[in-house]
Structure 1
Amino acid sequence: MISLGAEGALWVNASGEWIAKPPSVDVVSTVGAGDSMVGGLIYGLLMRESSEHTLRLATAVAALAVSQSNVGITDRTQLAAMMARVDLKPFN
């Protein structure tokens, strides 16, 4: 996975290539955004989620991280809603 900052992330592996664009959010702080994205990536991999789900998760976690001043995500409903707003497409 390669972070593209506010533009999202690129994922390339044996099963394909995808680009994820995060939804537009009001940025409060970028502190911890990269760490949050990596955390989402690691969680998805450890849970053996699909590549698409893992990329969507990592992108959503990072978007949530920059939209709040506190550290951490405590609301699964909020995370699920953000994941649904991530634009995920095959990368050609």
Structure 2
Amino acid sequence: MSSYEVETEEILGELAPFGEILHVKGTDGYKIGEGPVDCLDILIRVRRDVEPSSLVFILRSMGYFVEIVKARGRRVRLVVYRV
């Protein structure tokens, strides 16, 4: 098991209580000033009582860089990079 898979399990374990994880894809991203990086593209349907900003706060406190790419209704697409 690679460290990338462990990070995926760690991230999904933290997000699972906040809603249903619909899609996860490991992909390449590009951070300005750093170049290409590995990232996770996550689609989650959050519970009604959860603000998407709380997901960002939790993952940032764990040492990840998070961008909300798209939010439509209760579905939120996050791109997560390791800082």
TM-score range, shorter chain: 0.3 to 0.5
TM-score, normalised to structure 1, is 0.30
TM-score, normalised to structure 2, is 0.32
Higher percent of residues as strand = 2
Higher percent of residues as helix = 1
